[in-house]
Amino acid sequence: MIRCNVLIIGSGLAGLSAAVRLREMGVEDIIILERMSGGQYEHYHRTCGEAISDRMVSLAGIGRDCAIRSIDSATIACGSVDIHIHTKGIIIDRVELLKVMRESSGCKVARASVRTVKRADDGYIAETEDEEYHCKYLIGADGAFSVVRKNLFGYRPEVKMAAVNNLVEGNSETAEIRFFVSPQYPGSYRWDFPSKDGLRSVGYMQGTDEVTDYVEQGIRFIVTGTNRTVVKDNCCIVGDAALLANPLSYGGIGAALLSGRKAAESIAKGDLSGYQKWVSKNLMFNPHFMQAYYTFKEWDQSEFDDATAPFLSGSNLLLLRGLYAVLRRPKWANVYMSIWMGFKYCW
Ligand SMILES: Cc1cc2nc3c(=O)[nH]c(=O)nc-3n(C[C@H](O)[C@H](O)[C@H](O)COP(=O)(O)OP(=O)(O)OC[C@H]3O[C@@H](n4cnc5c(N)ncnc54)[C@H](O)[C@@H]3O)c2cc1C
């Protein structure tokens, strides 16, 4: 049995963000377990649009060294209507960011796939094929199909979708991220983001669309939900393990980085309840987003036309148009508001 103070399962953005923050706060004796390595690990983490807002970059304290592109606007394209939203962010080189975070944490990352976790009298035990790890604090940063969530929290994702990300040849110099919405993509969208080296990231939920001329293709699950129990005694779940991605935009990078950081700060203080309070009160994780998702998912073509009509003549004075849309179409108010809040605070 290997013993440590803090065991982190998963070395994605959430797990490494927690590790970096724990070390910054002087916590020692940390082990990270990661089931993947090399090309498989990099491919998994490259399967992503890699877009994150400037706001999140600043809150997560990651700096802009791993930025490959600056973003200054998002466009929602719905048939002949293009809604332009001014929003600032970056496209990150996610694999590079993970490497930088791993190095700056100075933590040992052991290659191991955790099969089960359980409570022990004085902490937690994680079992892998070859070894048992005993820890005082346990952080589940093990993504969409979290063993920690399943074994110790006992709940499942409310929404689970296989997303396909394609790297295709195209103009990677643009500063705009584009979302295509229509009944073809129920409750979701097709995205088209700039990437690097003459490539673009084009993606959709599996079965809603197809791209054949890709340079690289990856499929990963996006999960989300409204159960906000993220702490039990000295164990917590962060990032996708805690279903923290936004149900409308599916932005989860910022939530992963911030939740890892907040969990670490609470562990450093010896009391995880601060992390639970942060999640419970944070606007990012408000249940209104999930309600908006369920409404939006049911829209047929006439409802898309109706909802976008206030924006037909352009996107100037967007705030006023949005206000007019909310007043004239109160049944869609939560969707309008959630999209607006999503771009402002949740990516
Ligand atoms: C196609 C796609 C595009 C996306 N685009 C964006 C975007 O543009 N912007 C945005 O903000 N969000 C985006 N997201 C969401 C974002 O990628 C996730 O929310 C984010 O990766 C969550 O990070 P995480 O560290 O919590 O989990 P993960 O990135 O899933 O990392 C979990 C880690 O844990 C490891 N692990 C899992 N189980 C075990 C185990 N049993 N034992 C040991 N290790 C384990 C995994 O190998 C992995 O390395 C996208 C998601 C997808 C699928």
Helix 288-297 and helix 333-345: axis angle, to 10°? 120
Q: Please tell me whether residues 222 and 323 are part of one structural domain.
A: no
Neighbours of 74 (CB within 10 A): 25
3-state secondary structure of 315: coil
Neighbours of 83 (CB within 10 A): 21
Domain boundary among 245, 269, 288: 288
The predicted pLDDT at position 108 comes to: 85
pLDDT, the chain, mean: 96
| Pocket lining for ligand 1, CB < 6 angstroms | 9-15, 33-36, 47-52, 113-114, 141-144, 147, 163, 165, 203, 220, 222, 239-241, 245, 250-254, 256, 347
Which atom of ligand 1 is closest in space to residue 164's alpha carbon?
1
Domain boundary among 288, 304, 332: 288
Q: Please tell me whether residues 269 and 322 are part of one structural domain.
A: no
The yes-or-no verdict on residue 117 having pLDDT over 90 is: yes
Model confidence at 220, pLDDT cuts 50, 70, 90, reads very high
3-state secondary structure of 332: helix
Q: Please tell me whether residues 249 and 335 are part of one structural domain.
A: no
Domain boundary among 239, 257, 288: 288
Q: Tens digits of per-residue pLDDT, 263-281? A: 999 999 999 999 999 999 9
Q: Output the domain CATH number for residue 41.
A: 3.50.50.60
Q: Please tell me whether residues 255 and 308 are part of one structural domain.
A: no
The yes-or-no verdict on residue 316 having pLDDT over 80 is: no
Q: Hunting for tokens 């309070």 — which residue is that?
A: 277
Q: Report which protein residue has its CA nearest ligand 1's atom 15.
A: 252
Rounded to whole angstroms, how far apart are CA atoms 178 and 91? 13
Ranges 4-13, 221-230, 304-313: which has the least confidence: 304-313
**Tally of domains within the chain:** 2
User: What is the pTM assigned to this prediction?
Assistant: 0.97
Q: Please tell me whether residues 220 and 317 are part of one structural domain.
A: no
Q: How far is the CA of 172 from the centre of ligand 1 (A)?
A: 23
Q: Please tell me whether residues 100 and 238 are part of one structural domain.
A: yes
The yes-or-no verdict on residue 103 having pLDDT over 80 is: yes
Q: What is the chain's alpha carbon radius of gyration, rounded to the nearest angstrom?
A: 20
Q: Please tell me whether residues 249 and 297 are part of one structural domain.
A: no
Q: Please tell me whether residues 72 and 220 are part of one structural domain.
A: yes
Lookup: tokens for 51: 């877009």
Q: Please tell me whether residues 139 and 117 are part of one structural domain.
A: yes
Q: Please tell me whether residues 223 and 319 are part of one structural domain.
A: no
The whole domain housing 179 covers: 2-288
In which element (H, E) is residue 42 found?
Answer: helix 38-46
Q: Which residues fall within 8 angstroms of residue 269, CB to CB, at 6 or more apart?
A: none
Q: Please tell me whether residues 124 and 200 are part of one structural domain.
A: yes
Rounded to whole angstroms, how far apart are CA atoms 179 and 340? 14
Q: Please tell me whether residues 312 and 180 are part of one structural domain.
A: no
Residue 237 half-sphere exposure, CB side, CA atoms within 13 Å?
Answer: 26
Q: How far is the CA of 44 from the centre of ligand 1 (A)?
A: 8
